[in-house]
Amino acid sequence: MSILEIIRSRRSVRSFSGADLRQEDAEKIMAFAAGASNPYDIPVSWFLLDAKKDGLSSPVITDTNIWIAGKMDRVSHAEEAFGFSFEKIVLFAESLGIGTTIIAGTMNRPAFEKAVSLAEGEVLPCVSPLGYPAKKMSLREIMMRKGVRADSRLNFGELFFDGQFGTALTPEKAGRLKNVFEAVRLAPSAVNKQPWRIVLCGNEAHFYEKHTKGYISGDNWDIQKIDMGIALCHFELAAEECGAAVSFKVDDPGLQISADLSYTATYMIN
Ligand SMILES: Cc1cc2nc3c(=O)[nH]c(=O)nc-3n(C[C@H](O)[C@H](O)[C@H](O)COP(=O)(O)O)c2cc1C
């Protein structure tokens, strides 16, 4: 399967089949996770957790007991770095037929933090169940998906811009990068807010975060930066696949932006 096919077929899975995660699948995921780097070079430690042993639960997840959780130092850009690495793991799991849902809120967080022995100065941004999808979604899952319009995404021209904000980028204008932008468009995000915006200036793609009010917590933790890391991940993986060599930098080009936007990072495309 191509990365774009994997991205297209992935959805959050909240209802599982009840079958145990096969040992070989668990091992493959943890081996992959150990090498799931991010462009910020911030390390994340990954844990495979057993819900029964550690008393873990989520009101939205049914019929699996296995979870993956990541913890890291609470440093600048931790959110983007985590989103990038976690999404690589999510897409790898999808390629194995294993369902996931990135969860930041709807879980008993203290139990997860205890299970990974979270220390002062560390953060556990998100967790995900791992398992095989049930044939049918639970009613709660169906309602949740409706609530956040999980099957829809903003249009290409609402997310991507040509040279400056205000000038929509068309798929035609994106040329060979069309599928790279499409891969970003389809990314998952918290409450499906899709905060990523990209301005393509020549061979540079500048990423911006469009802030939704109320998403930065009192301690300055910004969950939408996790979404930005996911978007960067989709861009890089899809670019690699279409044969475009990309390199990453954080260097604000100083474009004119509205007050609800902030610069995240840039990919240079060769
Ligand atoms: C950073 C982040 C946090 C999320 N937190 C939760 C959560 O707490 N509970 C939940 O059910 N889904 C959560 N989700 C899943 C999103 O609701 C889901 O990705 C989005 O609605 C799009 O649906 P899809 O993943 O099926 O494409 C989260 C996703 C992301 C990226």
Fold (topology level) of 156-269: NADH Oxidase (3.40.109)
pLDDT digits (tens, 9 = 90+) for 226-257: 999 999 999 999 999 999 999 999 999 999 99
DSSP 135-196: SS--HHHHHHHHHTTTT----HHHHEEESSTTSBPPHHHHGGGHHHHHHHHT---GGG---E
Predicted confidence (pLDDT) at residue 219 exceeds the cutoff of 90: no
Q: Say if residues 21 and 64 touch (Cβ distance below 8 Å).
A: yes
Q: Say if residues 241 and 4 touch (Cβ distance below 8 Å).
A: yes
Q: Say if residues 261 and 209 touch (Cβ distance below 8 Å).
A: yes
Residue spans per domain, the chain: 3-140, 156-269
- Ligand 1 pocket check: which of 13, 191, 234 to mutate, most ligand atoms within 8 Å of Cβ? 191
Q: Residue 191 C-alpha to ligand 1 middle, in angstroms?
A: 6
Instruction: Give CATH for domain 3-140.
Output: 3.40.109.10
Q: Residue 150 C-alpha to ligand 1 middle, in angstroms?
A: 8
Q: Against a cut of 0.75, is the pTM above it?
A: yes
Residue among 141, 38, 149, 20 at smallest CA distance from 88: 38
Shortest-distance Cα residue to atom 28 of ligand 1? 190
pLDDT digits (tens, 9 = 90+) for 142-184: 999 999 999 999 999 999 999 999 999 999 999 999 999 999 9
- Strand duo 127-130 + 66-73: pairing: antiparallel
